[in-house]
Each structure stands twice: as structure tokens, then as C-alpha cells.
Amino acid sequence: MSERADRARAASLPYLLITPAVLALCLALGYPLVRQVVLSFQEFGLAQQFGTPPEWVGLENYRDLVTDAYLWKVTLRTIVFCLVNAAVTMVVGVGLALVMRAMSKGVRLLAQTGLLLAWAMPVVASLTVWQWLFDTQYGVVNYLLTALGGDFQGHGWLLRPLSFYFVATVIIVWMSVPFVAFTVYAALTQVPEELMEAAEIDGAGMGQRLRYVIIPSIRPVLMVVGLLQVIWDLRVFAQIYILQKAGGSATDTNLLGTYIYRLGIGGGDFGTSAAVAIFMLALTVVLTAPYVRSMIRQERNQA
């Protein structure tokens, strides 16, 4: 009987150890999510912030969203912006990781230091520098392009949606690439050198080694990093908001993150803002589902 009780205690010990972490996670993430869902079914404006009880409106906020043509325009804009940024970040980051693998130790350390500084720079500080670089009158970018013969004197990069998103993409990719490069480089160091040498002896070129040896070896890491990039780029807010404040048109450049902010904090319509936030959560699940299914399938095949 004592032996059975000892086995039961030993089996329950892991669950007891993780219980505090699970409770803290549920409190930190579960309550805000539940509060957001409840808020999306209410009419909650400025009056409710001063004590007026919120009115329960059910699905009315969601019905308004379905018929809102501007929301669907913002959603399409957000999806395209997210996928383009994630793809460019992954390509540049993986490329840098491959280049770092071929560098000498001193040059690689210098490159990693530069990437680390770019990654560690605060968002607002880096955006201040980028705004100065693309400034209409005194920007270095306009100066260099004009010096090369282009007609960029006084060009307003943030005034047109296409060039606005180009600047935003440059900034977001610049800030995201170090994470991808460091993570993929760490994965590349785990690829066996014997495998690479065997492929080279068999006559495989660099492209073939990349396709048939390197990519399959680090695919789990690439899947996780790609998944994180899609989630982060879908939720981008600070870069877009600050660039809008610097001169961009909010109506023409809103993404879901800034649209939610302007509905809630800017317009005082917290119920509709919460409904859009829930819609954005569902969109995140839809976009990331293929990545998750692929990772699960790969784990099953390896097992």
C-alpha cells in the first residue's frame, strides 16, 4: 500500500510543480482575453469609463464589422503587409545566417555585434533615426538619390501609401532580421560537418547542399521562426503609428493594430474596438494554422 502511495505521489509531483505557473499564466492571459470577449458584446464608450453601466448589445458590434467595407480593406492590407514582411525578413535573415557561417571568426563577431545592436535598439529611438533618414527636406535618402540623378528633391515618403509601406517594411525588416539571423545561425551550427563534406564529395553544389542538406536539417527551426514572424508582423503597431504621426495618412495606411487603437483610445468606441481585436485573434489563428499543422505533421513523422 505504501509503495502504491509513493508511486501516486511521484506521478502527481510534476503536476503540482507546474500548477503555480499554469495559474499565473491563466491569470495573466486568461482574464484579459475573457474581459476582451465580454467587452466585444457590449456598448462601451466614454460614458462607461465614468461609471455608466455598459449596455449588452450581443452580436451587434460584430454585425457592424461584417458590413464595414473599411475593415475588410484594412484586413486585406494587413495580411499582404504581414506576409510580405515575414517573407522578406526570412529570406534576408537566412541569407545572413548562411553568410555568417562562412565568415572568419573575427568578421563574424563584428557582424553579430552589429546585428545585436540593431536588435537591442529601442523602437522609438530607431524610428527617430529612420524618420530623419527619410525626411522630406533634410533626409539622407533623398539627398543620395538626388545626387545619383533621381528626382527626389523634397520627396515625401510618408505621404503616399505605397512609399509609406516601403519605409515601414524597411524599418520592420531591419528590426526583425537579427532575431532570424541569430536563430538560424545557431541551427546551422548543429548541421553535421560530415554530412556537408559527404554531399560535397558526391558532387553536390552549394545550391544542392542548401536544398537537400541544410534546409531539411534546420526545417523545424525555420518553421518556428516563420510562425513567430507571421504573428509579430500581423500585430505590428508602434512602427505604423509613429510613422503616421510623422506625416502619414492614417485613413490610407491603417493596419489592424492601429485601427483597433484608433477605434478604442482615439474614438472611445471600446466595444467595437474589442470586437476587432477578437477578429484579429481569429485571423492570427487562421494564418498560423498551416504552420502549426506542418510542425505537428513533421513531429509525427520523426516519431
Tens of pLDDT along the chain (303 residues) come to: 456 666 767 677 778 888 888 888 888 878 888 888 888 888 887 777 777 788 888 888 888 888 889 999 999 999 999 999 999 999 999 999 999 988 888 888 898 898 888 888 888 888 888 888 888 888 888 888 888 888 788 888 888 889 999 999 999 999 999 999 999 999 988 887 777 778 777 777 777 777 778 888 888 889 889 988 998 999 899 899 999 988 777 888 999 999 999 888 888 888 888 899 999 988 888 888 887 787 777 777 765
279 Cβ neighbours under 8 A, 6+ residues apart: 62, 65, 71, 75
70-302 CATH, one of 3.10.620.30, 1.10.10.10, 3.40.50.970, 1.10.3720.10:
1.10.3720.10
Structural domain spans, the chain: 70-302
- The full length of the chain comes to 303
pTM assigned to the model: 0.84
Would you state the cell numbers that stand for residue 15, as one nine-digit string?
Answer: 503536476
pLDDT at position 86 is: 94
Whole-angstrom CA distances from 293 to 203, 242, 285, 297, 301 are 35, 35, 12, 6, 12
Identify the three-state secondary structure at position 152.
Answer: coil
